[in-house]
Amino acid sequence: MTFQEYLSYFEQILASPEEYDPYGDAEYLNYTKLNWSRMNRWFKRFEPNDAMKNVVASITEPQHWIVITEPWCGDAAHSVPQLYQIVKNNPNIDFEIQLRDTEPFLIEDYLTHGSKSIPKLIIRNDVGHDKVIWGPRPQSLQSLYIQMKDEGKSFDEIKEVMQKWYNEDKGEELQRELLAQLG
């Protein structure tokens, strides 16, 4: 789906959660509402840095940026709007959203240590070859996540630390990692 279709899908879930699995579950719904707020905050506050703008503006060959995600994903609430803001002005970049839990299950080809971790960004050239695979979160945050998980921290503790990390980082690490792979 296009990014606009994804936003519409997100809004439909919030308006009628009982019609969409797993959003009838109060915990999923509350987290999804929080993700909607986070996404909208990034739309207002996130501006790609000059280096990122220059690299994306220099892309003249068609590219297909596919993001595998779901509205319930907390990491996606930060990264997906940033990724969209990065590419939205380049007509050579086709930005597509694929849902992790809906066919064709593209995530099966992009597992993270055997798990269906999202969001996942796949950048393909115009003949369908993968150029870049990124995700599910910036590497330094992924390392912190694994460390906290190994230490037996609760999911609530981990979520709080990750939220703080995203707010302090402001999308800079995501951009550094993409610049290293695109440059």
Domains and CATH numbers, the chain: 3-182 (3.40.30.10)
- In our burial notation (b when 16+ CB lie closer than 10 A, e otherwise), range 45-81 reads ebebeeebeebbeeeeeebbbbbbbbbbbbbbbbbbb
Q: What is the pTM of this model?
A: 0.95
Q: What is the structure's pLDDT at 89?
A: 96
pLDDT at 45 (0 to 100): 96
Mean pLDDT of 111-133: 94
Asked if the model's pLDDT at residue 127 lies above 90, the reply is: no
- Predicted pLDDT at 135: 96
Q: Report the b/e string of 108-133 with b at 16+ CB within 10 A.
A: eebeeeeebbbbbbbbbeeeeeeeee
- What is the radius of gyration, based on Cα positions, of the chain? 16
* Residues linked to residue 132 through DSSP beta bridges, in sequence order: 123
pLDDT at 36 over 90: yes
117 within 8 A of 125, measured Cβ to Cβ: no
Per-chain mean pLDDT for the chain:
96
Task: Using pLDDT thresholds of 50, 70 and 90, give the confidence band for residue 157.
Answer: very high
- Residues of the chain with pLDDT > 70: what percent? 100
Residue 92, pLDDT score: 97
How confident is the model at residue 91, as a pLDDT?
97
Q: Is it the case that residue 78 has pLDDT exceeding 80? A: yes
Please, which pLDDT band fits residue 86 given cuts at 50, 70 and 90? very high
pLDDT, position 3: 97
Whether residue 183 has pLDDT greater than 80: no
> How high is the pLDDT of residue 126?
87
Q: Number of helices (H) and strands (E) in the chain: give both, helices first.
A: 7, 4
Measured distance CA(38)–CA(183) in Å, rounded: 29
pLDDT band at 125 (very low <50, low <70, confident <90, very high): very high
128, pLDDT greater than 90:
no
